[in-house]
Protein backbone atom coordinates (compact mmCIF):
# COMPACT_ATOMS: atom_id res chain seq x y z
CA UNK A 1 0.00 0.00 0.00
CA UNK A 2 1.45 3.38 -0.95
CA UNK A 3 1.49 6.44 1.25
CA UNK A 4 -0.46 9.52 0.28
CA UNK A 5 -0.48 13.08 1.53
CA UNK A 6 -3.79 14.88 1.40
CA UNK A 7 -3.73 18.66 1.16
CA UNK A 8 -6.53 19.78 3.48
CA UNK A 9 -6.44 23.27 1.97
CA UNK A 10 -7.13 21.97 -1.54
CA UNK A 11 -10.60 22.57 -2.88
CA UNK A 12 -10.68 19.20 -4.62
CA UNK A 13 -9.92 15.80 -3.16
CA UNK A 14 -6.40 15.73 -4.64
CA UNK A 15 -3.93 13.20 -3.26
CA UNK A 16 -0.18 13.08 -3.78
CA UNK A 17 1.69 9.77 -3.60
CA UNK A 18 4.77 9.66 -1.41
CA UNK A 19 5.86 6.04 -1.94
CA UNK A 20 5.62 3.38 -4.65
CA UNK A 21 5.76 -0.15 -3.18
CA UNK A 22 4.42 -1.52 -6.47
CA UNK A 23 7.78 -0.86 -8.18
CA UNK A 24 9.73 -3.25 -5.93
CA UNK A 25 11.15 -5.93 -8.24
CA UNK A 26 10.88 -3.79 -11.39
CA UNK A 27 13.83 -2.63 -13.48
CA UNK A 28 15.11 0.88 -12.82
CA UNK A 29 13.59 2.02 -16.11
CA UNK A 30 10.16 0.56 -15.31
CA UNK A 31 10.22 1.96 -11.77
CA UNK A 32 11.23 5.40 -13.04
CA UNK A 33 8.45 5.42 -15.64
CA UNK A 34 5.86 4.37 -13.04
CA UNK A 35 6.95 7.07 -10.60
CA UNK A 36 7.02 9.74 -13.31
CA UNK A 37 3.42 8.89 -14.29
CA UNK A 38 2.32 9.85 -10.77
CA UNK A 39 4.86 12.65 -10.25
CA UNK A 40 5.99 14.07 -13.63
CA UNK A 41 8.34 16.68 -12.12
CA UNK A 42 10.17 14.21 -9.87
CA UNK A 43 13.96 14.27 -9.64
CA UNK A 44 14.74 10.55 -9.43
CA UNK A 45 17.98 9.54 -7.75
CA UNK A 46 19.17 5.92 -8.20
CA UNK A 47 21.50 4.72 -5.43
CA UNK A 48 22.96 1.43 -4.19
CA UNK A 49 21.26 0.05 -1.06
CA UNK A 50 23.06 1.36 2.02
CA UNK A 51 24.33 4.53 0.36
CA UNK A 52 24.68 7.52 2.64
CA UNK A 53 22.03 10.13 1.90
CA UNK A 54 21.35 13.65 3.06
CA UNK A 55 18.51 14.15 5.52
CA UNK A 56 17.11 17.27 3.86
CA UNK A 57 13.53 17.08 2.64
CA UNK A 58 13.04 17.76 -1.06
CA UNK A 59 9.43 17.25 -2.11
CA UNK A 60 10.50 16.77 -5.74
CA UNK A 61 13.09 14.03 -5.03
CA UNK A 62 12.39 10.30 -5.14
CA UNK A 63 15.20 7.89 -4.30
CA UNK A 64 15.31 4.41 -5.82
CA UNK A 65 17.62 2.02 -3.96
CA UNK A 66 19.00 -0.92 -5.97
CA UNK A 67 20.98 -3.97 -4.91
CA UNK A 68 21.03 -6.59 -7.66
CA UNK A 69 23.74 -7.55 -10.12
CA UNK A 70 22.20 -7.78 -13.59
CA UNK A 71 25.11 -9.37 -15.46
CA UNK A 72 28.11 -11.52 -14.57
CA UNK A 73 31.05 -9.30 -13.60
CA UNK A 74 34.06 -9.95 -15.84
CA UNK A 75 37.65 -8.78 -16.06
CA UNK A 76 38.41 -6.41 -18.88
The predicted pLDDT at position 14 comes to 67
Q: Which CATH number fits domain 4-66: 3.10.20.30, 2.60.40.3670, 3.20.20.70, 3.30.10.10?
A: 3.30.10.10
Examine the pLDDT at 15 and tell me if it is beyond 90.
no
CB-CB neighbours of 53 under 10 Å = 11
Angle at alpha carbon of residue 45, lines to 75 and 37, rounded to 5°: 120
The predicted pLDDT at position 31 comes to 97
Specify the higher pLDDT residue, 7 or 34.
Answer: 34
Specify the higher pLDDT residue, 39 or 8.
Answer: 39
Q: Quote the percentage of the chain above a pLDDT of 90.
A: 67
Q: What distance in Å separates the CA atoms of residue 68 and residue 26, rounded to the nearest whole number?
A: 11
Amino acid sequence: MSSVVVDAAATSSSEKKTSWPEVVGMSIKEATETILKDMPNAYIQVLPVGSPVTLDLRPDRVRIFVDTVAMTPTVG
